[in-house]
Structure 1
Amino acid sequence: MTNERRRAGQHTHGSVLVIIPTFNERENIGPIVLRVREALAEAHILVVDDGSPDGTGALVEALAADDDHLHVLHRTGKSGLGAAYVAGFDWGMERDYGVLVEMDADGSHAPEDLPRLLAGLDEADVVLGSRYVEGGQVINWPWHRTLLSRGANVYSKLALGVGVDDLTSGFRAYRSTVLRRVKLYDVASQGYCFQVDLAWRAVEAGFRVIEVPITFVDRESGESKMSGSIVREALIRVTKWGLRRRANQLRRWGRA
């Protein structure tokens, strides 16, 4: 496949749906939609809006009136990142998209990296846009946020025994076959723990997961959705999963 066809959004694994959850992202969503369109002209975009008070959903509806590749899924309340993605995955799989992509609305994920993520699907089932592999980087984060993110990823990698350096990355591409196989409704549905859980499930199910480097840029406008409760939830859940994994290993060794 030529680079030109990749840039046009055509892919050997089927049509591409880029899913962008939003809550109060009116300032950011228009520019992001334009950049996605420039990076992948034929890809479809689904904005999953959790009833944004600032009118994000209404703005996207107005943009979609002139763009048949742009869609909006309105949800009545803010119920977490994972729940928004599960709703978006369901919407996409019902319409038989072959590739489903996660990305943020705030500009931290560069749409220009989308062709690299899709190219990775030629050798994998899941491609993670990674800040922590060679060539990846983070721009404009304060040192304590970088330390928290790196520490969380190292801890998750060791606890779960997976060879992935950026399990919390929210910029990733899935073949639809992966999402049809894993039990989406059992996945932890709150905060960024969703990303760890879903990547781990893909690995455990035997799918090939690879990482490609991205440049992550901290948002320039709007407010981050990260909170202390999200961090605590992720720490508790990953610890429980790691202990359960270790217990299962010990049981298997005991029967050997």
Structure 2
Amino acid sequence: MKLWIIIPTYNEKENISELLDRLTSVLEELKINYNILVVDDNSPDGTADMVKKHRLYDDKIKLIVREGKKGLGSAILDGIRYVFKNDPGATHIVTMDADLSHKPEDLAVLIKYADKADVVQGSRYVRGGKTIGWGIHRHLISKTANFLIRTLYGTGIHDSTSNYRIYSRRAAELLLKYASGKSYEWAIESLLIPVAAKLKIVEAPITFINRSKGKSKLGIRDIIKWWIYILTFKRKFKSIAVEEGEKYSS
């Protein structure tokens, strides 16, 4: 396994150093061949400067600074392109949030499943998974969105909206081919594309912790776009299923 962890950032100065410290500690303990790529959207708070101060910067930790705030999905796609261009031996891509809502220690659990599927979905809604620090309205929005995705797309997946995942190289290549979501709709699209292509997906339990430092970037406009995306992705989903199905049946 050659693992790359892609972390999109925007104004995460208060969290990024702790995240990198904990993440490198976990990976070194697991004795895994890894690199971390931070994709920063030119954060005005100096997030990129904090990354450059890390003891492993320019060795195990790489940095891309983009001009302007271009969005979560766009950052991850740029990150995947960087990995494939610079490391032909990369076998797996991890995506996770920078605000410490995704525990670095849970990555050890996800990795246990990496040889069993093309996508390992970090899940709050399977046995052993949980959420800490959310109010009832956030629980309601999340549970409703996941119910709607399961119903519309027949996924059987309990948590389709967490961005804590491991993708095989094959799954990541499909994302480069089909994904277009630039913001938070990425979390849905980047799971439904492998589902449409009939790749194997497993869920692994994670503990989601609501951020304690910095401000959430998820606003009401993003939530509305989320709902619209869930409802309108069906045509693209069917098109991917047909194209990828014909490829593997021919």
Q: Would the TM-score normalized by the shorter structure come out above 0.5? A: yes
Q: Is residue 55 from structure 1 mapped to residue 42 from structure 2 by the alignment?
A: no
2:155 to 162, 179, 185: 162
What's the CA shift string for 1:202-249, capped at 9, x where partnerless?
Answer: 0111210110110000001000111111111111121112477689x9
Match of 2:27 in 1: 40
What's the CA shift string for 1:143-170, capped at 9, x where partnerless?
Answer: 1111111111111111122111111111
Letter in 2 for 1:62: K
Q: Which runs of 5+ in 2 are unaligned?
A: 242-250
Q: Is residue 76 from structure 1 mapped to residue 76 from structure 2 by the alignment?
A: no
Contact residue 48 and residue 72 of structure 1 kept, 8 A: yes
2:8 to 21, 34, 38: 21
Aligned length: 235
Contact residue 46 and residue 88 of structure 1 kept, 8 A: yes
Q: d(CA) in 2 for partners of 1:189 and 1:66? A: 29
- The 5 Å alignment of 1:142-153 reads 142-153=135-146
Q: d(CA) in 1 for partners of 2:222 and 2:146? A: 14
Contact residue 110 and residue 122 of structure 2 kept, 8 A: yes
> Shift of the alpha carbon at 1:62?
2.5
What's the CA shift string for 1:47-84, capped at 9, x where partnerless?
Answer: 10000000101221222665610110111111111000
Q: d(CA) in 1 for partners of 2:235 and 2:46? A: 43
Q: d(CA) in 1 for partners of 2:76 and 2:14? A: 21
C-alpha spacing 1:66/1:210, structure 2 compared with 1 (3 Å): closer
Contact residue 74 and residue 183 of structure 2 kept, 8 A: no
Letter in 2 for 1:125: D
Match of 1:99 in 2: 92
Instruction: Give the secondary-structure state (helix, strand or coil) at the position aligned to 1:77.
Output: coil
Q: d(CA) in 1 for partners of 2:236 and 2:9? A: 34
TM-score by length of 2: 0.88
C-alpha spacing 1:22/1:15, structure 2 compared with 1 (3 Å): same
Instruction: Give the secondary-structure state (helix, strand or coil) at the position aligned to 2:6.
Output: strand
TM-score by length of 1: 0.86
Q: d(CA) in 1 for partners of 2:56 and 2:23? A: 17
Contact residue 141 and residue 218 of structure 1 kept, 8 A: yes
Q: d(CA) in 2 for partners of 1:228 and 1:199? A: 22
Q: d(CA) in 1 for partners of 2:140 and 2:53? A: 40
2:104 to 107, 111, 121: 111
Percent of pairs with identical residues: 37
Letter in 2 for 1:207: L
Q: d(CA) in 2 for partners of 1:231 and 1:166? A: 16
Match of 1:10 in 2: none
Q: Is residue 192 from structure 1 mapped to residue 179 from structure 2 by the alignment?
A: no
Instruction: Give the secondary-structure state (helix, strand or coil) at the position aligned to 1:106.
Output: coil
> Shift of the alpha carbon at 1:190?
3.0
Match of 1:174 in 2: 167
Match of 2:245 in 1: none
Greater gyration radius: 1
Q: d(CA) in 1 for partners of 2:164 and 2:152? A: 22
Contact residue 124 and residue 205 of structure 2 kept, 8 A: yes
Instruction: Give the secondary-structure state (helix, strand or coil) at the position aligned to 1:40.
Output: helix
Q: Which runs of 5+ in 1 are unaligned?
A: 1-13, 250-256
Letter in 2 for 1:120: Y
Match of 1:141 in 2: 134
Q: Is residue 214 from structure 1 mapped to residue 206 from structure 2 by the alignment?
A: yes
Moved over 6 A (4+): 243-247
What's the CA shift string for 1:170-207, capped at 9, x where partnerless?
Answer: 10001112111x15264242332111111111011121
Q: d(CA) in 2 for partners of 1:168 and 1:245? A: 17
Contact residue 168 and residue 192 of structure 1 kept, 8 A: no
Q: Is residue 230 from structure 1 mapped to residue 222 from structure 2 by the alignment?
A: yes
Q: d(CA) in 2 for partners of 1:74 and 1:138? A: 31
